[in-house]
A and B are shown apart, each in its own frame.
Chain A
Amino acid sequence: MTILDVITLILLLAGSFFMLVASIGMIRLPDFYTRMHAGGKADTLGQGLIFLALIIYEGFTLISLKMLIIFAFIFIANPTATHAVAKAAYKGGLKIWSRDKNDSS
C-alpha cells in the first residue's frame, strides 16, 4: 500500500461522507430552502472529492482528463441548477419556514 493509495482512500471516504450528509440533510431538514442548502453545497463538494481521488489514483492520462472535465462541469453546473430551482420556488410563491408555525412536513 503506497502513499498514493492512502491519499486516495482518505479522499474517497471524505467524499462519500459528504454525499451521505447531503442525503441525510434532504430527509431531516424542515423546509424546501433549507433542504436546498444541504443539497446544493455538500453534494458538490462530495463529488469533487471523489473525482479528485480517482484522478490521483489514475495518474495523468486521457481518462483523468475526462474526469477533470466532468469534475469542472459539475462544480459549475450543480450550484447553477440549485440557484435556478431556488429562483423558481421564490417566484412561485413558496413560503419560508419559521419556527412559530409548527408544521412539520
Chain B
Amino acid sequence: MFSFIAVIILIGVFCVLFRAVKGPTIFDRVLSVNLIGTKAVVVIALIGFMHGRPEFMDIALTYALINFIGTIAFLKYIEKNKLD
C-alpha cells in the first residue's frame, strides 16, 4: 500500500520536473524545486515505513529544513545578487 502511494507521488515528481526543465522564468524553476523537495520528504517517510527503518524520519526532517533554507537563500541571491 505504501509503495503504491510512493509510485503515485513519483509520477507527480516527473510532472513537476517537466515544468522545472521547461519553465520560462527562473521563479518557475525555484517553485518546482520547492515542490519536488516537499514530495521527496513524503517519499523518504514512506520508504522508512516500507522497510521498517524508523531512522529515516530524521533524514526526512533534515531534508525539510534544508529545502526551506535553500529556497529562501536562492531567492535572496536572485533579488540582491549577493548572499551576505
Contact = CB atoms under 8 A, between A and B. Distances in A.
Contacts of B30: 85
Contacts of A13: 5
Interface string A80-104: 1110110011011010000000000
Given A43-B38, A78-B38, A84-B75, A51 B45 contact: yes
Interface residues of A, number: 45
A63 B75 contact: no
Contact of A27 (B2, B19, B31, B65): B19
Contacts of B1: 9, 12
Contact of A47 (B8, B24, B42, B49): B42
Contacts of B24: 32, 105
Given A66-B57, A70-B57, A89-B25, A54 B49 contact: yes
A39 B31 contact: yes
Contacts of A51: 42, 45
Interface of B: 1-2, 5, 8-9, 11-13, 15-16, 18-19, 24-25, 27-28, 30-32, 34-35, 38-39, 41-42, 45-46, 49, 54, 57-58, 60-61, 64-65, 68, 71-72, 75, 78-79
Given A20-B12, A84-B71, 18 more contacts: A23-B13, A23-B15, A23-B35, A24-B12, A24-B15, A26-B31, A27-B19, A32-B31, A36-B31, A51-B45, A63-B57, A70-B64, A73-B61, A81-B72, A82-B34, A85-B31, A85-B71, A105-B24
